[in-house]
Amino acid sequence: MSISPKVTPIYQTSVFTFEDLNALEAYFEQPGQSYLYSRNGNPNTDELAEEVNQLENGQGAVATSSGISAILTAVLVYCQSGDHVLCAEEIYGGSAALLTQELTRMGVQVSFVPMGEMYSFGNYVQANTKVLLVETISNPMMTVLDLAKVAVECQKQGVKLVVDNTFASPVITKPLELGADIVIHSVTKYLSGHSDVTAGVVVAKVTEDAQRAKQIVVAWGLNLSPFDSWLAARGLKTLKLRIRQHSENALALATYLQNHPKVSEVYYPGLSTHPQNGLASAQGKGWFGGMLSFRIKDEVETVNRFMRGLTHIPFAPSLAGVVSSVSYPLGTSHRALTEEQRAKLGISIGLIRLSVGIEEAEDLIADLEKALAAI
């Protein structure tokens, strides 16, 4: 009997068997031809990594247990104790916490670069600076970086560029083609797309960096499980379709919100009023993604009334699922920031982040209309 499944089965095993010592020797002599132990590699994990590697046009990738472990891996590819990391000031709170609270304890220094200085950050570079970490589209203000320009500055300064491409996805932007050295994703978000997986991936421009990333994942035990890899690989098959629908819906909702009297500001790169609209259009091939933020009255009770007024859009502090959700940066992702830092980033009481799903746009607008009528 010959079985040939169309879809890779789930290799839900922690270890693989060998017929004899010769088979074991063959494993070490011919890398990639067989498997030993799932922390070192598993067909489902490798399939996911290779799919993302191709989407990002890389020279090698490794799947990780989360987006945060992907960032940790990327930093460790280039840094050791005594080195210095630069990080964009507008960054996911968990990434900032990893750098400032954990990596500093291991002797890695960190400095934050204001968004206005991302194209000329020479003043922040030290002799031991190894890496700059940035996001393609920042959270929650949706600032879009000109990655090609950042990459030129990185080359000038002798600093490696690591790009968190979670908000854009490779359908919208491929950072390695624009000069990045490593691109990472929280696969938890658009790449898997269904809010049922926690995963990450690291994709490198050169083979040596990909090999080093793999070595780190194995040594630190940052690997992803076979089942989560399988779920993420399944989600990935519809990435392009989903991103188009997310983008179309988000533009419709951003336009609606912009014209609503109770909404004072809308942050979406697809709006002509967005400061980087032209750049986002060119860099994103006309797609702007599914994430937007908007501002209502800076009053806790108003925000609560809005949240309670939504019927179909849940309040859930994550993003990028097929089902829309709202999140609250002040109380979740940016909770740890000081009042001064929040004020600088524009994160006030009335700022709401909306992850636009792939439902019918008119149904989403009707839900927003009802919630806004309640405030």
Ligand X SMILES: Cc1ncc(COP(=O)(O)O)c(C=O)c1O
- Closest distance to ligand X from the beta carbon of 97 (Å): 10
- Catalytic entry in 11, 35, 160, 164: 164
Q: Which stretch binds ligand X (CB under 6 A): 66-74, 266-274, 305-313, 341-349?
A: 66-74
For the chain, how big is the Rg over CA atoms in Å?
Answer: 21
Please tell me whether residue 283 binds ligand X under the rule CB under 6 A.
Answer: no
- Catalytic entry in 189, 212, 242, 295: 189
Of these, 38, 44, 129, 166, which contacts ligand X (CB under 6 A)?
A: 166
Shortest-Cβ-distance residue relative to ligand X: 67
For residue 170, what are the contacts with CB-CB under 8 A and spacing of at least 6? 52, 55, 56, 57, 183, 239
Q: Which stretch binds ligand X (CB under 6 A): 30-38, 64-72, 107-115, 289-297?
A: 64-72
The closest alpha carbon to 323, from 308, 335, 313, 334, belongs to 313
- Catalytic entry in 11, 35, 92, 256: 92
Please tell me whether residue 66 binds ligand X under the rule CB under 6 A.
Answer: yes
- Answer yes or no: 39 catalytic: yes
Please tell me whether residue 135 binds ligand X under the rule CB under 6 A.
Answer: yes
- Answer yes or no: 328 catalytic: no
Please tell me whether residue 38 binds ligand X under the rule CB under 6 A.
Answer: no
- Closest distance to ligand X from the beta carbon of 153 (Å): 21
Please tell me whether residue 229 binds ligand X under the rule CB under 6 A.
Answer: no
Of these, 47, 90, 153, 164, which contacts ligand X (CB under 6 A)?
A: 164
What angle, 0 to 180 degrees and rounded to 10, lies between the N-to-C axes of helices 67-78 and 207-220? Answer: 120
- Closest distance to ligand X from the beta carbon of 66 (Å): 3
Q: What are phi and psi of 263, to 5 degrees?
A: -110, 120
- Closest distance to ligand X from the beta carbon of 32 (Å): 27
Please tell me whether residue 139 binds ligand X under the rule CB under 6 A.
Answer: yes
Please tell me whether residue 94 binds ligand X under the rule CB under 6 A.
Answer: yes
Q: Which is nearer to ligand X, 347 or 375 (CB)?
A: 347
Binders of ligand X among residues 74 to 93 (CB under 6 A) are 92
Please tell me whether residue 67 binds ligand X under the rule CB under 6 A.
Answer: yes
- Report the distance separating Cα 196 and Cα 137, nearest Å: 23
Q: Which is nearer to ligand X, 188 or 249 (CB)?
A: 188
Token code pair at residue 47:
């399939």
- Closest distance to ligand X from the beta carbon of 75 (Å): 13
Q: Which stretch binds ligand X (CB under 6 A): 36-44, 162-170, 261-269, 349-357?
A: 162-170
Of these, 41, 170, 179, 200, which contacts ligand X (CB under 6 A)?
A: 200
What angle, 0 to 180 degrees and rounded to 10, lies between the N-to-C axes of helices 300-309 and 361-373? Answer: 140
- Report the distance separating Cα 251 and Cα 33, nearest Å: 46
Token code pair at residue 356:
């636009």
Q: What are phi and psi of 141, to 5 degrees?
A: -90, -5
- Answer yes or no: 124 catalytic: no
Q: Judge contact between 343 and 141, C-beta under 8 A.
A: no
Please tell me whether residue 11 binds ligand X under the rule CB under 6 A.
Answer: no
- Report the distance separating Cα 96 and Cα 73, nearest Å: 15
- Residues in binding contact with ligand X, number by CB under 6 A: 15
- Answer yes or no: 92 catalytic: yes
Q: What share of the chain is helix, strand, coil (3-state, %, to 5)?
A: 40, 15, 45
Q: Which is nearer to ligand X, 187 or 310 (CB)?
A: 187
Q: Give the helix ranges, DSSP H, for 18-117.
A: 21-29, 43-56, 67-78, 93-97
- Closest distance to ligand X from the beta carbon of 143 (Å): 12
Question: Residue 261 in 3-state DSSP?
Answer: coil
- Closest distance to ligand X from the beta carbon of 68 (Å): 4
For residue 71, what are the contacts with CB-CB under 8 A and spacing of at least 6? 95, 98, 133, 162, 164, 184, 200
The closest alpha carbon to 283, from 269, 295, 262, 294, belongs to 269
- Which residues, in sequence order, are bridge partners of residue 164? 135, 184
Q: What does the binding site for ligand X look like in residue numbers (CB under 6 A)? A: 66-68, 92, 94-95, 135, 139, 164, 166-167, 186, 188, 198, 200
Which of the residues are catalytic?
39, 92, 164, 189
